[in-house]
Structure 1
Amino acid sequence: MKFRTSILTAALSMAIAGSALACTTVVVGEGASADGSFLIARSADSSAMKAQHMVKHPARTYKKGDMYRTQDYKGATDFSYPQPEQAMGYTTVPNWKTQLHGATGFNDAGVGISGTESIFARDDALKLDPYNEKTGITEDDILDVLLPRAKTAREAVEILGSIIETTGAGEGFGVAFVDDKEIWYLETGTGHQWLAQRTPKDTYFASGNQGRLQKYDPKSPDFLASKNLVQWATENGFYDPKKDGEFNFSKAYTRDDERDRDYNDPRVWQIQKMLNPSLEQKVGDGRNFPVYLKPEKKITVEDLKAIMRDHYQTGELQSHDPYTKGLRGDEPYRPISVFRTYEAHVMQVRPWLPDEIGAVTYVAMGMADLSVFVPYYHGLNAYPAHYGQGTDKADSESLYWKYRKLQTLVMTDYPKLHGVVQKAYADFERQTAEAQKTFEDEYVKVFKQDPKKADAMLEDFNQGVMAKAEALAEDLTNQVFTIRTKDIEDANFFANRSKKD
């Protein structure tokens, strides 16, 4: 088989096709999960060249009047916000260039945030209340502003909501919040309007770059919103109580047009079909999809990994799979797993366990379909130095590029090579899950008697898993290089007539 540069070009074209920023999110209430844990999954999609770092920010003290300023890091806007005098420690997975847009993280209080899902307000509403693109808050800032100060998920929602109402949002976004008691999802409407809902216990929520929230009950503790959310929509003609009936946030504030039919709707349709196989609905009927659904089977971490890896390779939409039968960058149905995903994660909170192991984030660097989800426990003390390395140029040291280079190589012949990588990673994840169960049982026993010894156990175990995952990626890279070398030699041997040399 010939090594054609056009194949790689197609792969890279897929990396920049469509929206500049696009993600997919799933939020799972504790009653809908298999073990009673809270779950959040999200893919972060922008550019394959966007190397990600993993950072632990230590707790620190600020002087009164100290400010967080986005432009200190050359971020998207000129947003600024007062620093808390006592800032908690927290983790983030930021962009290499600015160290902002942390994607996912937990703080010392056990509050976790995943953000953001890029969403879009309706154009006519934005004309009246535009995004504050000069000094508004964006995905660059959310984790670094909220995690140092928020003691609960609800408080984090309230802080972000207050910022949106006063300073304004610099773009449209959706954000997921979790602690050991509840899980929330917030969406922006226009530049200063927003709505958040606590995920009903027995349900899950899925979004693919759309405003999906609809219901709003201002008297219920399960909702938080901008103070004049309904009033503003009514006064400006986006909601008529007599004509429209019950207020619908999505209808009043967010976009729903032909741009959503093939880019966004199919992803949500696919997620709901995977978790509710008996559900029948039209692929392009996005606004009528249920906002919250009870899954037909309780949801596991493995289910969410599978969702993050999905590209219509199974089920009714297989004809839209853009990889398995050769790369098709012109496929109209945008899949969940795209080459330009720079990281995907599954956040899990298990309130019945010590915080150190009860909160864990599974992170897959790069394209989830060709990556491995590695668990990172909340109690992990430090990341290796090379976890904070990597730029937009490939290297041999950084964590990001160790995984990304293998993915790029596989995409040169996805049909032939993907199985080699996926089987090895599946075996690793299964073995790691078994080892985690043994470790966690022992950790709980030791923690009761000697927390310091338990923490040392955690550090040893987690660092070992991280090292094994990296070693596997490097070994797979060599395996795939060997296969491709043989392919190219076979296709370009130029033997003499005797076929001997």
Structure 2
Amino acid sequence: MFKKAALVASVLAAFSSMSLACTTVLVGPEATADGSFFVGRNADSDALKAQHMVIHPAKKNQKGMYRTQDYKGATNFEYPLPENAMRYTTVPNWKTQLHGAVGFNEAGVGISGTESIYAKDELLKLDPYNEATGITEDDILDVILPRAKTAREGVQILGSIVESIGAGEGFGVAFVDEKEMWYLETGTGHQWIAQRIPRDQYFASGNQGRLQAYDPKSEDFMASKNLVKWAADNGFYNEKKDGAFNFAKVYTRDDERDRVYNDPRVWQVQKILTPSLKQPVQEGRSFPVYAKPDKKVTLEDMKSILRNHYESGELQSHDPYTKGLRGDEEFRPISVFRTYESHVMQVRPWMPREIGSVIYVAMGMPNLSVYVPYYHGLDAYPAHYGMGTNEADSQSVYWKYRKLQTLVMTDYPKLAPIVEKAYHEFEADTAKKQKAFEEQYLKTYKKDAKKADKMLNEFNLGIMASAEKLAEDLTNQIFTIRTADIQKANFFANRSKKD
């Protein structure tokens, strides 16, 4: 019994320190309705993993090392602190204040990380992950955002760390700035590849290596120095036999687990954005790495994708919620209860950065949560945005949203539509308010930047407070419904129904 309990504890510990299963969607600006860059991701691990929202101030004249173990993180990774660190934001794990999930720095560089991916076992035997001192998702934002002035530089820094120190796990990471967007994937412990996202296409990933082509002469690619040679020298790639080098085929896992756990999510994203694309869901490795949407992609499309659970369309029979909870469903959906944070990063280069860069964050399960905008120019979060643990409380913003979701899951078919309708209406109303605010902000910004800043903070804090109030009201509404339901099912009256 003791050994079994220890095993369960170790598994739960692993769950809390890894994303385990995320879904990423990146859309180039010529594929979006208004020219925005979009970076969307669901971070999935543990529903008890409360998230905090943190603004890290700029720092001058730093010395010494960043050490993961100073925060009790996943490995003993160390890296020199930048002498002058830029201001940046993160949404970290409550326990360690690491694994920042998403954030922007003052230079306008944004990072979303990570997508857990898996290399082939036979390659990892020769170049294993550096689980002792390698970099993991715990560290990426806190190491790169204080120092990277462009998305390209962010890729270069992370790639250099993987090559020299090693990756502590397999991951994919998205980088964006006001000019371009990149996606980096690890192969083995010291091998990696990154590709610039085509401006007129989108990319989707669900826990698998997706990048394929590699042209070392192209400005659209970066990679470890011996990415191809290492594979060839160790017998995993033969140009004459295999043809053009394919990173995913050479380095990453592709087996029956992908067929049910990963491929359906990528298939669903591509079906939503490019319904004209015809492909069997079972043939994941043949899915295009990039695709053009049939219609220009909107912010609402991004939210809808991250909320998807096969509730409609060809995979509707795999919906694990609408007809009652089915935790044994093989096709895992994009939106799952153990999503602890979902976000859409929007970059609009034609606007002042203060309002042009926005992160829409939904705490917890996205289809039972609300996406709240957080503008780049927001100066501070309320104190309760930095609260919350793995035990429910009455203060933290995380548990304010999570408790409602837990309650709804007790009768999902009946209760979910109520919450989803209310949140969709709130988001539609907020979008109208944002449009009016941004128009006024731009007029004010030209004349008085400080006044515009004050206006931004008042507006953003007001939207945040309204979203929280809605969650509180919905919680009371759903508790009322559940109370009536339980009383009806357990009334216990005498035959006269009087006492």
Q: After TM superposition, is the score higher than 0.5?
A: yes
Structure 1: distance between partners of 2:266 and 2:55 = 33
Choose the corresponding residue for 1:198, options 173, 190, 196. Answer: 196
**The residue matched to 1:313 in structure 2 has which SS?**
coil
Q: Is the 8 A contact 2:19 2:115 kept in 1?
A: no
Spell out structure 1 runs of 4+ moving beyond 6 A: none
Residue 84 (structure 1) aligns with: 82
In structure 1, stretches of 5+ residues that fail to align are 1-12
Whether the 8 Å contact between 2:37 and 2:346 is mirrored in structure 1 is yes
Q: Secondary structure at the match of 2:174?
A: strand
Matching residue of 1:476: 474
CA distance in 2, matches of 1:344, 1:238: 37
RMSD of equivalent CA atoms: 1.1
1:429 aligned to which of 427, 430, 453: 427
- The alpha carbon displacement at 1:62 in A equals 3.8
For residues 274 and 493 of structure 2, the distance between their equivalents in structure 1, rounded to whole angstroms, comes to 56
- CA shift, 1:334, in A, is 0.4
Q: Is the 8 A contact 2:27 2:201 kept in 1?
A: yes
Counting only pairs closer than 5 Å after superposition, residues 253-402 of structure 1 correspond to structure 2 as 253-402=251-400
Counterparts of 1:29 and 1:307 in 2: how far apart (Å)?
Answer: 16
Structure 1 equivalent of residue 148 of structure 2: 150
- SS class of match (2:103): strand
Q: Where does residue 30 of structure 2 map in the other structure? A: 31
C-alpha distance in structure 1 between counterparts of 2:141 and 2:62, whole Å: 20
Q: What is the rounded CA distance, in whole Å, between the counterparts of 2:324 and 2:376 in structure 1? A: 40
- How far apart are residue 360 of structure 1 and its match? 0.1
Residue 169 of structure 1: aligned partner = 167
Write the letter of the residue equivalent to 2:156.
E
Q: How far apart, in 2, do the equivalents of 1:373 and 1:285 lie? A: 33
For residues 150 and 425 of structure 1, the distance between their equivalents in structure 2, rounded to whole angstroms, comes to 36
**Structure 1 residue matching 2:39: 3-state secondary structure:** strand
Partners of 2:234 and 2:302 in 1: how far apart? 40
Q: TM-score, normalised by structure 1?
A: 0.96
The aligned amino acid for 1:35 is: D
Q: How many pairs are equivalent?
A: 485
The equivalent of 1:49 in structure 2 is: 48
Superposed, which structure 2 residues align to 1:82-121 within 5 Å?
Answer: 82-121=80-119
What code does the residue aligned with 2:487 have? Answer: E
> CA separation in 2, counterparts of 1:245 and 1:351?
40
Deviation at 1:63, TM superposition (A): 3.2
Q: Aligned residue for 2:3?
A: none
In 2: Cα distance, 1:20 partner to 1:187 partner: 15
Aligned residue identity for 1:223: F
Cα distance in 2 between the residues matched to 1:236 and 1:286: 26
Residue 236 of structure 1, CA deviation: 1.0
Distance 1:243 1:33 in 2: 40
Describe the SS at the equivalent of 1:60.
coil
Indicate yes or no: 2:233 matched with 1:235: yes
Query: Distance between the aligned counterparts of 2:288 and 2:236, measured in 1?
Result: 22
- 2:232 maps to a residue whose letter is T
C-alpha separation between the residues in 2 aligned to 1:479 and 1:22?
32
- Give deviations 1:201-253, integer Å, cap 9, x for gaps: 10000000000000001000000000000101111111110011110000010
Shifted more, 54-63 versus 406-415: the winner is: 54-63
Q: For 2:185 and 2:32, how far apart are their aligned partners in 1? A: 23
Equivalent pairs: percent with the same residue?
Answer: 75
Structure 1 counterpart SS, 2:22: strand
The answer (yes or no) to whether the contact 2:19–2:116 under 8 Å persists in 1 is no
Residue of 214, 217, 227 corresponding to 1:216: 214
Work out which structure has the larger RCO, using CA pairs closer than 8 Å and 6 or more positions apart in sequence: 1
Out of 396, 405, 408, the residue aligned to residue 407 of structure 1 is 405
How far, CA to CA, are the matches of 1:467 and 1:321 in structure 2? Answer: 33
Aligned mates of 1:434, 1:238 — CA distance in 2: 54
Q: CA deviation at 1:20?
A: 6.5
What's the TM-score once normalised by structure 2's chain length? Answer: 0.96
Give distance in 2, aligned partners of 1:110 and 1:181. Answer: 10
Whether the 8 Å contact between 1:62 and 1:83 is mirrored in structure 2 is: no
SS of corresponding position for 1:284 = coil
* Residues 44 and 340, structure 2, Cα contact 8 Å, conserved in 1: yes
In structure 2, the partner of 1:493 is 491
Q: In structure 2, what is the Cα distance between the partners aligned to 1:102 and 1:33? A: 27
Structure 1 residue 156: Cα displacement: 0.2
Instruction: Give the counterpart letter for 1:48 in structure 2.
Output: A
Distance, in Å, in 1 between the alignment partners of 2:479 and 2:241 is 63
